[in-house]
Amino acid sequence: MRRVIKSVHNRHSRSDSSSNQIVIVGANDIGVHLAHVLGQEGQNTFLIDEGEDFLQNLDEEVDVLAIAGNPISLHTLRDAGISEQSRLIAVTASDKLNLLLLFLGQNLGIKEGYSLIHDQEYFHSFYPVISRLGVNLHLINLWETVIQKIERKFNLETQTIYSDGNAMLMAIRFFAGHPSIGKRISQLKLGSRSKVLQMIKDGKYINDFARLLIDSGDIILVRFDPSEKERAMERLVTFDSLPKVMIGGAGLIQVVKNHWPNFSKKLVCIEKDYAKCQKMLKVLESGLILHGDGLDISLLNEAGIGEAGMFIAASENDEINLLSSLLARSYGVDDVLTILRRRQHTGMLERLELNGIISIPQVVVDYLISRIIPEKHTSSVNFHVLIERGVLSEGIHFVYRGGLLILLEQTSLRDGEEVITVQLITTAKSSKK
């Protein structure tokens, strides 16, 4: 394909520093929205896509240099000025292409790289590999960001830090409105073999916390016994035990049980794609899958929408999600969550009176902006905890380094030196300067 470079007029002053250069691959709703936000911040931004027609019709408000060409071509990347001072962000619809671009960027010595991943199998397969390559390379788990956004709407955020067959280590952050606010840590019913290891207030560890009251923004690190986790989380995740109806959501279901272990017990999913129905059945431990149209009134009645306490519209079609959400409202469902993939659709929300909207482009862009320009943006997605080095529980060591929480396992002494192997790595940015 002939490469065409289109320069959109600059409406904002750009920084001359090459360290601000950002190359975005994927002129979809996420990529264009990210380019628009970065342009408003005065960042030197390039947008690459193979679709020349799409680039030619970019919104004039997007302050970006747009390049049409093969994104894995060195010629295209050089046209975008890729260098050691560049950030490379791959947000195409292809996980394979996004991963390939991250490896290519690493070989080119980029300053930092991000790849959006939709499929959980790809994420879990490549996460350890990418983590070993360096702290400047990151995978963005799309559905994890969506789930954390859903949790935030219910005044809670959870993050699994460590898990094996014997124990699970989880970070839980509370916000104003959660039923646990105002309670003492000792009042949390977690089970006799599960316990709070540490409490974090204002980015500081509090060791003597049993009598302290939980306040908005507080984080607790909990070590769960597998036999007690479901019962304990049902008390903390207030929507876990509600009767629920969901339209679509095959991608969402893949990560649900790691956050909300009881979610599927009173869940009915309606999915039009039979292959996705089969895939969801393999993931769900309980719940019911109905094969059919999410706008079929008789099917919605069969799913029990009239008795549902929560409705999630998560199909790949925004119009279906909006219409089914309005139907759920008409049936009197209290909590209606609507997941949208097109950024243009969020403008109609006030007229439709839907306040449970989760915009995928906005969620991903917020996630990225909080890392690229942390001094101007705060993230509601990730835990901002300063962690040095210590022991969370017997056999679980950790160290905070370069924006990563690295869990370690001491294995042996060799020639008088301590040998430590990495057990798990997860992002955990600091809120302290």
The pTM score is 0.80
Q: Which CATH class is domain 4-143?
A: alpha beta
4-143 and 244-341 in the same fold: yes
How far apart are the C-alpha atoms of 430 and 41, rounded to whole Å? 22
Q: Is 382 left (phi over 0), alpha (psi -120 to 50) or beta?
A: beta
Mean residue pLDDT of the chain comes to 79
pLDDT (tens digit per residue) in 139-194 = 999 998 999 899 988 999 887 766 766 777 788 889 999 999 999 988 888 888 88
pLDDT-based confidence at residue 234 (cuts at 50, 70, 90): confident
β-bridge mates for residue 399, sequence order: 389, 406
Q: Does domain 147-236 have CATH number 3.40.640.10?
A: no
How far apart are the C-alpha atoms of 79 and 86, rounded to whole Å? 13
Q: What is the dihedral of CA 216, 218, 221, 225, to 10 degrees?
A: -30
How far apart are the C-alpha atoms of 387 and 396, rounded to whole Å? 14
pLDDT-based confidence at residue 397 (cuts at 50, 70, 90): low
CATH dotted code for 244-341:
3.40.50.720
Q: Please, are residues 426 and 404 in contact by the beta-carbon 8 Å criterion?
A: yes
Q: How many C-beta neighbours within 10 Å does residue 132 have?
A: 10
How confident is the model at residue 166, as a pLDDT?
72
Per-domain residue ranges for the chain? Answer: 4-143, 147-236, 244-341, 389-427
pLDDT (tens digit per residue) in 43-83 = 889 999 988 777 776 766 677 888 888 999 888 888 888 88
Q: Please, are residues 262 and 240 in contact by the beta-carbon 8 Å criterion?
A: yes
Burial of 274 (0-12, 13-18, 19+ CB in 10 A): exposed
DSSP result, 138-155: EEEEHHHHHHHHHHHHTT
Q: How many C-beta neighbours within 10 Å does residue 360 have?
A: 21
Q: Tokens at residue 60, please? A: 């004039």
Beta strands, E only, 302-388? 310-314, 335-340, 357-359
